[in-house]
Amino acid sequence: MKTAKPSPGAPALHSGTHGEALGHAHSHDGVEGASVESALAMAEAYCRERGEKLTPIRRKVLELLLASGRATKAYSLLDEMRQIHPGSAPPTVYRALDFLLSAGLIHRIESINAFAVCHDLTQCQHGILVVCQQCGNVTELHEPKLRQALVAQIEAAGYRLAGDGIELKGLCAQCQESQANSAGKAAQPGAAGRPEAAAQSSSVS
């Protein structure tokens, strides 16, 4: 979990409030080693303060999401859990996800039916989520004034939000680049010349 401008060290787990900060964005990138352990230690302390427990199963599911750094579907988490604990059943993973959601440690990404770690982990403020519909990368935009204005417009239109999450669908920079490269290969002169040659052959016959 790094900010839009990656920096070394532990994930961005801020102690300040977002309402006092300028708007900013956080992209969910996978973390490894000490960063994951640091995030898990913070999550465990946070749960203790709430009078709850980050059980081994809950901890492992959170660890898998931290390592992934992307929105991950429940069945993918189940497959990974079964590689570690062969007897893992769907209810086990879903119960762990429900706990992590209720604790505010993760987000449910409705548009792709997946889950992602909150970039602030124990300081979840429900920003605007931009979700890549191709790879599942998630970026959290923290623009309090923009969110407030958007919610006000929604309510003025006579609607009431069903939850705290606001999602925008999109295509991340990496997937855009991948698409552009694929389109470029398809449009190479050799590929474009073959249909023309076939047409010439057809006209001669």
Q: Which of the two residues, 192 and 12, has the higher pLDDT score?
A: 192
Cα gap 90→157, rounded to integer Å: 39
Length of the chain, please?
A: 205
pLDDT confidence tier of residue 124, bands split at 50, 70 and 90: low
Question: Once rounded to an integer, what is the mean pLDDT over residues 39-48?
Answer: 93
125-183 confidence digits (pLDDT tens) = 667 889 999 998 888 888 889 888 999 999 999 999 887 778 899 999 999 999 999 98
- CB neighbour list of residue 7: distance below 8 Å, 6 or more residues apart: none
Cα gap 164→86, rounded to integer Å: 35
SS3 159: coil
64-84 confidence digits (pLDDT tens) = 999 988 899 999 999 999 999
pLDDT confidence tier of residue 61, bands split at 50, 70 and 90: very high
Domains of the chain: 24-178 (1.10.10.10)
Q: What is the pTM of this model?
A: 0.68
171-202 confidence digits (pLDDT tens) = 999 999 999 999 888 887 665 545 544 444 44
Tokens found for residue 124: 């979840």
13-32 confidence digits (pLDDT tens) = 333 333 333 345 555 555 44
- CB neighbour list of residue 152: distance below 8 Å, 6 or more residues apart: none
Tally of CB atoms within 10 A around 126: 16
Helix axes 56-68, 90-102, angle to 10 degrees: 80
- How would DSSP label each residue in 74-130? HHHHHHHHHHHSTT--HHHHHHHHHHHHHTTSEEEEGGGTEEEE-TTGGG----EEE
- Main-chain phi, psi angles of 53, to 5 degrees: -130, 135
Q: Give the single-character DSSP code of 103.
A: T
Cα gap 56→65, rounded to integer Å: 14
**What is the separation of C-alpha 80 from the centre of its chain, rounded to a whole number of angstroms?**
18
